[in-house]
């Protein structure tokens, strides 16, 4: 128990430096589960599950999505240059580029979010609750790769302070924290998250014909190192003619499903090699992640299933209506595009912001599926609806619960 002694020795004083102590406590309880025993006034033996373990099991599948997200950022970047077209060509460079883009997002989101959590926990005098472990893993995955770091920092701060701490911390928030930070960017800095140019990294600010500027870090540090090993390095290039960073969704909204298939194959969309938010496209892995969450019992299968039902039925109805190109997309292919599966597996199932009763979860999921599909088909400005529909359903989750619970009360009072 050598490490334990070291930890005990460096414990900061709780009164003199509360913030430091809270930070210490968070790290310590991360490294060692505490020696706390049951009080003797209730159960004597407790289930081995705690909030840390719950949260980390959501982060595990997200970790794989981070790796693939990094790869896809690089892949899309080089596609725009017309270089390394094959999936395995330039594999290392693609990963490297993706990580150079993604890592700062991950670090900034977590430093800002956890920093605020620790300071508020210290002010309130309780331990840091684990809610942000998942938010911090989700936020980088749902942002565009080129998002300026200061905007990310502001959005995370907004989500954590206004969205969570103002309501009393983990477990008390009404809206999903990760989505709240994204919706903040969406409304406050729309140009960074909407349009055809933001989903492929490195080209947002380029004038036509101008070549990529890799900036100081890659030019002066990464490239010389790559040179040292004699491997291929980053070379400035212009965007190839006719390249469009448009996502399948934005094409579908304007020109319909056939136009989408002209640019992207179905397999490409299924495997996720398309432009989009950093981690939302790898359908097979997201499905595996969803199955993992269902088997471990962390996420509610009721929400996922009812969301699929809601979205599918709405898409069928929209097919029947067929008033716009998006409505004409065959209902099944709606699931190929955009972030439906990611939203279903990781966003809608957040237990704090979802309905808490089992009946409520069915209603909640159907609302998300159906409203999201309607927004996708009808919203003229932005062809994706899950963020807004989940936040919408979050708003009504407590109301749904209220009526479900009230039905139980009425039943009991009637019996008397």
DSSP string computed for 220-249: IIIHHHHHHTT-------BPPTT-----HH
Q: Applying CB under 8 A, does 182 fall inside the site for another protein?
A: no
Among residues 209, 320, 380, 381, which is the contact residue for another protein, using CB under 8 A? 320
409 contacts another protein (rule: CB under 8 A): yes
CA distance 285 to 263: 23
Is residue 309 within the footprint of another protein (CB under 8 A)? no
The tokens describing 24, both together, are 């210490």
Residues 6+ away with beta carbon under 8 Å from 268: 274
User: What residues pair up with 238 in beta bridges, in sequence order?
Assistant: 211
Task: Tell me which stretch binds another protein (CB under 8 A): 31-39, 76-84, 103-111, 380-388.
Answer: 31-39
Q: Which of 17, 46, 161, 398 binds another protein (CB under 8 A)?
A: 46
Tokens of 398: 């407590």
Tokens 């977590």, residue? Answer: 110
Query: Minimum CB separation from another protein for residue 106, in Å?
Result: 20
Which residue from 348, 285, 277 is spatially nearest to 65, judged by alpha carbons? 285
CA distance 29 to 83: 47
Task: Kindly tell me which residue out of 87, 103, 161, 295 binds another protein, with binding defined by CB under 8 A.
Answer: 295
Angle, helices 18-31/91-124, rounded to nearest 10 degrees:
120
3 state DSSP class of 45: coil
Candidates 11, 27, 31, 266; binder of another protein (CB under 8 A) is 31
Stretch that binds another protein, among 95-103, 104-112, 179-187, 356-364 (CB under 8 A): 356-364
Closer to another protein at the Cβ: 217 or 403? Answer: 403
Please report whether residue 169 would count as binding another protein according to CB under 8 A: yes
Stretch that binds another protein, among 123-131, 158-166, 268-276, 367-375 (CB under 8 A): 123-131
34 binds another protein (CB under 8 A): yes
Binding region for another protein (CB under 8 A) out of 146-154, 210-218, 254-262, 352-360 = 352-360
Is there a contact between 62 and 141 (Cβ–Cβ < 8 Å)? yes
Examine residue 123 and tell whether it contacts another protein (CB under 8 A). Answer: no
Alpha helix segments (H runs only) across 82-158: 91-124, 131-138, 149-158
Q: What is the largest CA-CA distance in the chain?
A: 83
Token pair listed for 219: 């030019």
**6 is an interface residue for another protein by CB under 8 A:** no
By CB under 8 A, tell whether 27 contacts another protein. no
Residue 323 binds another protein, judged by CB under 8 A: no
Is there binding between residue 80 and another protein (CB under 8 A)? no
Shortest CB 352 distance to another protein, Å: 6
What does the buried/exposed string (b/e) look like for 165-191 if buried means 16 or more CB atoms within 10 Å of the residue's CB?
beeebbeebebbbbbbbbbbbbeeeee
Q: Which of 101, 114, 118, 130 binds another protein (CB under 8 A)?
A: 130
Interacting residue with another protein among 21, 75, 77, 361 (CB under 8 A): 361
Q: How far is the CB of 399 from another protein (least distance, A)?
A: 14
CA atoms within 13 A on the CB side of 391: 15
Q: Does 202 bind another protein (CB under 8 A)?
A: no
Smaller CB separation from another protein, 16 or 414: 414
Q: How far is CA 377 from CA 250, 261, 331, in A?
A: 11, 18, 11
Please identify, using beta-carbon distances, which residue of 148 and 168 lies nearer to another protein.
Answer: 168
Structure-token pair, residue 181 = 């930070």
Residue 259 CA to its chain's centroid (Å): 28
Q: Is 107 in the site for another protein (CB under 8 A)?
A: no
Which of residues 46 and 220 has its CB atom nearest to another protein in the complex?
A: 46
Tokens 């009763």 locate to 357
> Nearest CA to 114 among 22, 43, 37?
22
Regarding 48 and contact with another protein (CB under 8 A), the answer is yes
> Are 368 and 314 a contacting pair, CB within 8 Å?
no
Q: Judged by CB under 8 A, which of 107, 111, 149, 172 binds another protein?
A: 172
Using CB under 8 A, pick the residue from 3, 228, 262, 267 that binds another protein.
3
Span from 154-162, 224-232, 244-252, 353-361 in contact with another protein (CB under 8 A): 353-361
Which residues in the 140-159 window bind another protein by CB under 8 A? Answer: none
Hey, which residues does 211 pair with through a beta bridge?
Answer: 238
Residue ranges binding another protein (CB under 8 A): 1, 3-4, 29, 31-54, 56-57, 127, 129-131, 168-172, 295-298, 300, 316, 319-320, 351-352, 354-358, 361, 401, 404-405, 408-413, 415-416
């Amino acid at each position: 128990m050598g490490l334990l002694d070291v930890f005990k020795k460096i414990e900061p004083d709780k009164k003199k430096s509360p913030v430091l102590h809270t930070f210490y406590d968070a790290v310590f309880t991360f490294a060692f589960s505490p020696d706390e025993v049951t009080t003797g006034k209730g159960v004597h033996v407790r289930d081995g599950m705690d909030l840390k373990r719950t949260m980390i099991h959501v982060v595990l599948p997200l970790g794989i999505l981070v790796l693939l997200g990094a790869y896809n950022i690089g892949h899309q970047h080089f596609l725009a240059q017309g270089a390394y077209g094959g999936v395995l060509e330039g594999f290392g460079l693609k990963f490297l580029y993706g990580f150079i883009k993604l890592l700062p997002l991950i670090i900034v989101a977590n430093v800002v979010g956890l920093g605020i959590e620790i300071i508020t926990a210290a002010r309130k005098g309780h331990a840091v609750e684990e809610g942000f472990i998942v938010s911090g893993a989700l936020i980088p995955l749902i942002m565009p790769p080129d998002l300026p770091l200061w905007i990310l920092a502001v959005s995370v701060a907004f989500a954590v302070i206004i969205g969570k701490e103002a309501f009393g911390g983990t477990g008390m928030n009404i809206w999903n924290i990760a989505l709240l930070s994204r919706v903040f960017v969406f409304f406050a800095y729309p140009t960074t998250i909407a349009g055809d140019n933001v989903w492929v990294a490195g080209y947002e600010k380029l004038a036509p014909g101008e070549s990529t500027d890799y900036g100081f870090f890659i030019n002066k540090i990464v490239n010389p190192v790559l040179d040292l090993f004699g491997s291929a390095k980053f070379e400035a290039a212009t965007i190839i003619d006719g390249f469009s960073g448009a996502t399948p969704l934005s094409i579908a909204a304007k020109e319909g499903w056939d136009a989408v298939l002209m640019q992207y194959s179905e397999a490409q969309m299924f495997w996720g090699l398309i432009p989009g938010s950093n981690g939302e496209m790898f359908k097979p892995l997201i499905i595996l992640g969803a199955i993992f969450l269902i088997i471990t019992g962390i996420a509610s299968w009721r929400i996922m299933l009812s969301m699929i039902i809601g979205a599918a039925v709405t898409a069928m109805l929209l097919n029947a209506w067929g008033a716009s190109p998006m409505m004409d997309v065959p209902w099944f292919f709606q699931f190929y595009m955009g972030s439906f599966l990611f939203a279903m597996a990781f966003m809608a199932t957040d237990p704090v912001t979802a309905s808490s009763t089992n009946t409520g979860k069915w209603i909640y999921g159907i609302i998300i599926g159906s409203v999201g599909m309607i927004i996708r088909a009808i919203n003229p400005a932005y062809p994706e609806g899950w963020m807004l529909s989940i936040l919408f359903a979050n708003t009504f989750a407590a109301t749904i619960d209220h009526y479900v619970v009230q039905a139980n009360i009425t039943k009991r009072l009637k019996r008397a």
